[in-house]
Amino acid sequence: MNTITIFAPATVANVSCGFDAMGFALETLGDKMTFTKTASKKITISKIEGAELPFDTDKNVAGVVAQAMLKDSNAAFGVNIEIYKNFKPGSGLGSSAASASGTAFAINQFLNNKYTNLELVKFAMLGEIAACGSAIADNVAAAIYGGFILVRSYEPLDIISIPTPKELMVTAIHPQIEVKTADARKVIPSKITLKTAIAQWANVGGLISGLHTENYDLIANSLVDYVAEPARKHLIPYFDEVKESSLKSGALGVGISGSGPTIFALSKGIETANKVAEAMQKTYSETGIKYEIHVSKINETGSKIITKWNIIV
């Protein structure tokens, strides 16, 4: 094969209590990217649809990741990239992570799977540095591994896959405003009390245990964020109203996806997830703010190949 088209999923990071340490991938929302081998040994980006992103490979996260991988592997070929964005940058759904992780996954296919998933995360993190200035792993790890992940350690990097309960669904509302990751990180407190830290750690443990045992009550009780949500929710219009209406509709928990403005809710079963979507829609339909709502299963496979073929020139 010398041309492949891949799907790179949108992701929810933090998952309420797991700030910078947890994330999961969505099944029904993500980007498509097409990669073609070239003889030039250069990286080029020939097409970008769905968002205004730089074609300069030194400034585009896909270009940054691709260049790093080809250099590290001493590849004897170059790659042309086409990017088809299906959700906007600044959504809180891992837009830059989708481009970075999708690129890492695709280039690895051309390299006969030379790199492990953990190594692909390290390459994809270079894209996150280019996008927001921070080597964040939660979104890119979720997009590469699929399902729920825990970033157990950054030094050294250690990614743990966590089981996904069969009936777990996500509903996400994306208000059509932008919250930049760099700006959202500035409002996070640099210090928290020991009491707050203990409560947050306990919820992370409870959430992971609930996911392993499919204990939906434990999952619900653990989806509480004492650190990021109180500091960030003022950046998202009507956050409290959406959270209240979603919980009343049966959601297990509601939180900010990544740095926002997307608000996510986890539910047991598609029926409840759809009820939560209706509640979110009702809340935002009267605000005058445009929005998109997505209902999805958890994507347990991560980035994947859609098509692959050989082009004879």
pLDDT band at 311 (very low <50, low <70, confident <90, very high): low
Residue 89, pLDDT > 50, answer yes
If asked whether residues 178 and 195 sit together in one domain, one would say: yes
pLDDT band at 313 (very low <50, low <70, confident <90, very high): very low
Choose the weakest-confidence range: 127-136, 177-186, 210-219, 232-241: 177-186
| pLDDT grade for 130, boundaries at 50, 70 and 90 | confident
Does the pLDDT value for residue 312 go beyond 60? no
**Per-residue pLDDT tens digits for 267-301:** 999 999 999 999 999 999 989 999 999 999 999 99
On whether the CB atoms of residues 47 and 82 are closer than 8 A, the answer is yes
Q: In this prediction, what percent of the chain has a pLDDT beyond 70? A: 98
Task: Indicate if 304 and 272 belong to the same structural domain.
Answer: no
Residue with tokens 């306990």: 202
189 and 141: one domain?
A: no
Active-site positions read: 128, 181
Tens of pLDDT along 98-108?
999 999 999 99
Q: What is the CATH number of the domain that holds 20?
A: 3.30.230.10
Q: Are 112 and 143 members of one domain?
A: yes
Over residues 128-133, the mean pLDDT reads 83
Q: Which residues pair with 304 in a beta bridge?
A: 7
Cα(220)–Cα(215) distance, integer angstroms: 9
On whether the CB atoms of residues 31 and 98 are closer than 8 A, the answer is yes
Claim to verify: residue 205 and residue 255 sit in the same structural domain: yes
Quick one: 65 and 149 in the same domain?
yes
Q: What is the pLDDT of residue 179?
A: 80
Contacts of 66 (CB under 8 A, 6+ apart): 43, 57, 79, 81, 103, 107
Tens digits of per-residue pLDDT, 152-210?
999 999 999 999 999 999 999 999 988 877 788 889 999 999 999 999 999 999 999 99
Question: What pLDDT does residue 186 have?
Answer: 86
**Which of 49-53, 112-116, 295-299 shows the lowest mean pLDDT across its residues?**
49-53
- Do 31 and 143 lie in one domain? The reply is yes
Report whether 26 contacts 296 (CB < 8 A): yes
Give one word for 112, left, alpha or beta, with left for phi > 0 and alpha for psi -120 to 50.
Answer: left
**Mean pLDDT, all residues of the chain:** 94
**116 and 239 share a domain?**
no
| CATH number assigned to the domain comprising residue 218 | 3.30.70.890
Supply the range of the domain harboring residue 236.
168-297
- Number of separate domains in the chain: 2
| 303 and 278 within one domain | no
pLDDT at 1 over 70: no
Mean pLDDT of 204-224: 98
Question: Is 43 exposed, middle or buried, given 0-12, 13-18 or 19+ CB atoms closer than 10 A?
Answer: buried
**What average pLDDT does the segment 44-72 reach?**
95
223 and 158, same domain (yes or no): no
Indicate if 227 and 305 belong to the same structural domain: no
174 and 156 fall within a common domain:
no
Confidence at residue 90, expressed as pLDDT on a 0 to 100 scale: 83
